[in-house]
Structure 1
Amino acid sequence: MTEKPRESAPEGGGRPLRRDAALNRERILSAAREILGRRGLGVTLDDVARHAGVGVGTVYRRFPSKEALVRALFEQDFEIRRESATKALAHPDPWEGLVDFLTDMTADFAENRALYEVVMLGSHSSEPFEAARGGMLPFLEALIRRAQESGQLRPEVTPSDIPVLQHMLSSATRFTQGERPDIWRRYLEVLLNGLRQRPDNPPLTTPSLGNETVERVMGLAARQEE
């Protein structure tokens, strides 16, 4: 008796995928994560197909556009960021919670160039991505407020400072051209020393960009301006 091909979980709420189709989908996602993480969003579906060792038609059957592939790839990443923020908010030490969150986020951006471009540059603008990026703001505001109320974070620090700091750290990683991919850890330490409240801290005299400017720069406000 011939065994019928196994089926996997439904894709997008449709019929379950055959086992071979599900395996191809996972192979494509794995290859896409690797090549997009290394080269960024300039990668094409043809590039992904070659890296996955499948025909380009197979990629298009599973993901009819690059947006569909990027969305499937990074939905999980956005969820991981929310989980990281929730865990940080539950940390008994508000400063350590903030440090853990910033460290996790910086590590992700250093290891995944496409994720950095999606989150920080708005390079793949679509309503789901904009909603996911914007949805992180309340978590960030809460983390900063907790750390400031505990007296451990400088009172001048605002949520809009964090994306700028992330750009600085990511630039340090890119600067090494792969020779020191972990160099961001050194400069995160430098920045954290500057962020921490101390009795002898001189006040910051230059105002922050503000959320509106940061959102515009990151592309979050592009749809509203159309």
Structure 2
Amino acid sequence: MTDMSRDTGSTDGGRPLRRDAALNREKILQAAREIFGERGLKVTLDDVARHAGVGVGTVYRRFPTKEALVRALFEHDLTLRQEAAEKALAHPDPWQGLVDFLLLMAGDLAENRGLHEVIMMGTHSSAPIERARGGLRPFLAELIRRAQESGDLRPEVTASDLPVIVHMLAGTTAFTRGMRPDIWRRYLEILLNGMRQRPDDPPLTTPSLSDEVVEQAMGFRKPSDRTP
């Protein structure tokens, strides 16, 4: 999959970094992307330092907390995913736009455990990350609406089904423990065949999760929260 994630600049409080400091920052970010992608956000800054081959102090000078490092990596990533959703909505074929978006998101989350935890679980969140996560939801509803109005998507599918689908697909890669990292593609094909509208489809008998339940599962709200 094409890497859509990259750091947008090397600064320190708005001031350009010295060349050696900028190189160390890029080295730390690359190491963090690799280790977060493989092991998730449970890793420590010490783990990142070892993976980057730099001293722990060097990491802490650039990123005093893990949250700061997560923000540097993933805020831009989420903006790019929102741009991908906009591109999917602009596709002249509503079904293909939905398929393209699911391919991108499922692949991203299957291949990057850290991104999966940020998007699906709200782990190590921040205000910009929450805005970006929340900003995806209207796009999901519109992707569903367009595909259903075109007659390609069965009417029982809801926007709340999409986060569950990409979460399930990411889980297939974890299940194989790296032996088949692309296995999510097979199960996306199966799911898409089930989602496509056909005249002889039997109706789905189990309702989708409510928006409230999905929001709780993704960390948008606590179980005690109530919709006004």
TM-score (norm 1): 0.92
Q: Give the corresponding residue for 1:57.
A: 57
> Is the 8 Å Cα contact of residues 169 and 188 (structure 2) preserved in structure 1?
yes
> Is the 8 Å Cα contact of residues 84 and 101 (structure 1) preserved in structure 2?
yes
Q: Give the corresponding residue for 1:31.
A: 31
| Shift of residue 13, structure 1, vs aligned partner | 5.0
User: Which structure is larger by alpha-carbon Rg, 1 or 2?
Assistant: 1
Q: 3-state SS of the aligned residue for 1:135? A: helix
Q: Where do 1:54-133 residues align within 5 Å?
A: 54-133=54-133
Q: Give the corresponding residue for 1:48.
A: 48
Q: Give the corresponding residue for 1:152.
A: 152
| 1:164-205 CA distance string (max 9 Å, x none) | 111211121111111101000000000000111111111112
Distance 2:211 2:125 in 1: 18
| Shift of residue 12, structure 1, vs aligned partner | 6.1
- Are residues 12 and 205 of structure 1, via their aligned partners in 2, closer, same or farther at CA, if it must alter by over 3 Å? farther
| 1:141-163 CA distance string (max 9 Å, x none) | 11111101101011111111111
After the TM superposition, which segments of 4 or more aligned residues of structure 1 sit over 6 Å from their partners? none
Structure 2 letter corresponding to 1:179: M
- Are residues 13 and 146 of structure 1, via their aligned partners in 2, closer, same or farther at CA, if it must alter by over 3 Å? farther
Q: Give the corresponding residue for 1:16.
A: 16
| Shift of residue 10, structure 1, vs aligned partner | 5.9
Q: Which runs of 5+ in 1 are unaligned?
A: 1-8
Q: Give the corresponding residue for 1:138.
A: 138
Structure 1 letter corresponding to 2:218: M
| Shift of residue 75, structure 1, vs aligned partner | 1.7
Q: Give the corresponding residue for 1:178.
A: 178
> Is the 8 Å Cα contact of residues 109 and 116 (structure 1) preserved in structure 2?
yes
> Is the 8 Å Cα contact of residues 120 and 218 (structure 1) preserved in structure 2?
yes
Distance 1:224 1:21 in 2: 45
Distance 1:177 1:85 in 2: 29
Distance 2:140 2:12 in 1: 30
Distance 1:144 1:208 in 2: 14
> Is the 8 Å Cα contact of residues 40 and 114 (structure 1) preserved in structure 2?
yes
| Shift of residue 122, structure 1, vs aligned partner | 1.8
- Are residues 129 and 222 of structure 1, via their aligned partners in 2, closer, same or farther at CA, if it must alter by over 3 Å? farther
TM-score (norm 2): 0.91
Aligned residues: 217
Q: Give the corresponding residue for 1:216.
A: 216
Q: Give the corresponding residue for 1:5.
A: none
Q: 3-state SS of the aligned residue for 2:17? A: strand
Q: Which runs of 5+ in 2 are unaligned?
A: 1-8
Deviates further, 179-188 or 158-167: 158-167
| 1:96-154 CA distance string (max 9 Å, x none) | 01000000001101110110011112222333322221110011111111101101011
Distance 1:181 1:41 in 2: 19
CA RMSD of aligned residues (A): 1.6
> Is the 8 Å Cα contact of residues 35 and 48 (structure 1) preserved in structure 2?
yes
| Shift of residue 76, structure 1, vs aligned partner | 2.1
Q: Where do 1:178-197 residues align within 5 Å?
A: 178-197=178-197
Distance 1:132 1:224 in 2: 23
